[in-house]
């Protein structure tokens, strides 16, 4: 039986990286596997951090292992499952294979069974399989894996955890509750900043559609010192850069300017993106529409965001940043026209808190929407 880390949203990717570094220093090659587009950024981040850890080691081993990143699309290409098996079996050395699989989500309707098939095939074929997976509900563990629950939050401040805890509390049948680390937090963390998508200047049903929301979020970020070379965060001598900020929504309406082959804009960027740019913030957009209309640019931007290479604020659909953390997280409520149809507000709120709010390590900004009946069309 091989270990798997359970999904607790606050430090699981850190543990994967630490295990990967251990393997590399022992001389083993590490296979970092992404099976769908929503895990691209997290997997590329893991591979990047492994590389940085090796290069920063003052006493590296004479023959460290190498890092190999594998990318597949289990949602749209079922044949990729066999391709992944073939590729990974070709990497077996001396009867051993070392694999990191982040955001596995074995219970997902489409790619969950395919992830399960991948793991089962590897377990059957490689006696010396060492596979660590994160992003797993304890009700969905494949029989070929041994659970090792991670219940101590490693990254979030207590003030952020209080925003996440209600979601965990509503899912205790599927997610273990947090446990006490035994080490007191150095402080409560920063007060959660709350803005409101409300008033005469605001437009649209949701903040992502609203240029005024973009302006108000930008004003708050500038007040925090983002991009100024300084920081107004208490006890934080490290300056806040634009790359430290991610703005997350589940809205399917998020997009950047869409251009035709001649470079003409055929569909303007979402209101919140225009508002941010109006205030001078450099912005990178990772939306579903961008993935469909300009996949090459989207892939380049994911590479960039995964390692925070360019100093830009990232505005993204939450599926694109599973596993990524930032010092400042802005949460924009919204709805996805397809996947949220028929879902309750409570269920959507659980997803927002687990997959978006828990990305925050320092300062959380929540944009509230006045309560009214939700109609997903």
Angle between helical axes of 40-56 and 12-25 (0-180°, round to 10): 40
User: Looking at the domain that runs over 158-368, which CATH code has it been given?
Assistant: 3.40.50
pLDDT, residue 186, reads 61
pLDDT, residue 167, reads 76
pLDDT, residue 185, reads 66
CATH 2.40.50, applies to 2-148: no
Q: Which of 253, 283, 284, 286 is nearest to 270 (CA)?
A: 253
pLDDT, residue 377, reads 40
| CB 256 within 8 Å of CB 247 | no
Phi, psi for residue 92 in degrees, rounded to 5: -65, 130
Rounded to whole angstroms, how far apart are CA atoms 273 and 31?
36
Rounded to whole angstroms, how far apart are CA atoms 278 and 295?
26
Handedness of CA 304, 309, 315, 321 (dihedral sign): positive
Average pLDDT, the chain: 85
Report domain extents, the chain.
2-148, 158-368
215-228, pLDDT tens digit by residue? Answer: 999 999 999 999 98
Q: Tens-of-pLDDT digits for all 377 residues of the chain?
A: 454 444 445 567 888 898 999 999 999 999 999 998 888 888 999 999 999 988 887 887 888 899 999 999 998 899 999 999 999 999 999 999 999 998 887 877 778 889 999 999 999 999 999 999 887 777 788 888 887 777 777 667 788 888 887 877 777 666 777 777 666 666 667 889 999 999 989 999 999 999 999 999 999 999 999 998 877 777 667 889 999 999 999 998 899 988 888 888 888 999 999 999 999 999 999 987 777 777 888 888 888 998 889 999 999 998 887 778 899 999 999 998 888 888 888 888 888 887 788 888 889 999 999 865 444 44
335-366, pLDDT tens digit by residue? Answer: 988 888 888 888 888 888 877 888 888 899 99
Query: In CATH terms, are 2-148 and 158-368 the same topology?
Result: yes
pLDDT, residue 367, reads 95
- Interacting residues of 259 by C-beta distance below 8 A, sequence separation 6+: 265, 266, 294
For the chain, the straight-line distance linking the first and the last C-alpha, in angstroms and rounded, comes to: 46
Rounded to whole angstroms, how far apart are CA atoms 308 and 48?
10
pLDDT, residue 145, reads 82
Pairing of strands 193-196, 360-368: parallel
pTM of the model: 0.83
């Amino acid at each position: 039986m091989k270990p798997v880390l359970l999904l607790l949203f606050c430090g699981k990717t850190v543990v994967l990286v630490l295990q990967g570094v251990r393997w590399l220093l022992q001389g083993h090659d590490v296979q970092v596997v992404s099976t769908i587009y929503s895990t691209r950024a997290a997997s590329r981040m893991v591979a990047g951090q492994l590389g940085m850890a090796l290069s920063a080691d003052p006493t590296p081993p004479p023959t460290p292992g190498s890092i190999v990143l594998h990318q597949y699309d289990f949602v749209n290409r079922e044949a990729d499952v066999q391709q992944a098996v073939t590729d990974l079996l070709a990497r077996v050395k001396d009867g051993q294979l070392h694999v990191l699989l982040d955001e596995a989500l074995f219970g997902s309707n489409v790619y969950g069974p395919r992830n399960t098939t991948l793991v089962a095939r590897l377990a059957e074929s490689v006696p010396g399989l060492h596979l660590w997976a994160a992003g797993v509900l304890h009700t969905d563990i494949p029989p070929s894996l041994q659970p090792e629950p991670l219940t101590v939050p490693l990254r979030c401040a207590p003030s952020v955890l209080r925003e996440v805890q209600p979601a965990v509390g509503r899912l205790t049948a599927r997610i273990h509750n947090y446990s006490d680390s035994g080490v007191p937090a150095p402080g409560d963390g920063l007060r959660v900043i709350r803005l409101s998508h409300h008033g005469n200047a605001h437009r649209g049903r949701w903040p992502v559609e609203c240029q005024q929301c973009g302006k108000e979020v930008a004003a708050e970020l500038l007040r925090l010192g983002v991009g100024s070379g300084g920081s107004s965060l208490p006890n934080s001598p490290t300056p806040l850069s634009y790359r430290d900020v991610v703005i997350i929504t589940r809205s399917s309406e998020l997009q950047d300017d869409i251009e035709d082959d001649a470079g003409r804009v055929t569909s303007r960027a979402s209101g919140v993106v225009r508002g941010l740019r109006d205030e001078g913030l450099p912005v990178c957009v990772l939306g579903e529409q961008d993935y469909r209309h300009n996949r090459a640019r989207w892939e380049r931007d994911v590479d960039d965001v995964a390692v925070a290479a360019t100093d830009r604020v990232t505005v993204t659909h939450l599926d694109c940043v599973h596993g990524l953390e930032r010092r400042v997280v802005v949460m924009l409520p919204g709805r996805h026209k397809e996947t949220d149809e028929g879902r309750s507000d409570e269920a959507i709120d659980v997803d927002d808190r687990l997959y978006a709010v828990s990305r925050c390590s320092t300062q959380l900004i929540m944009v509230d929407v006045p309560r009214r009946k939700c109609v997903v069309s």
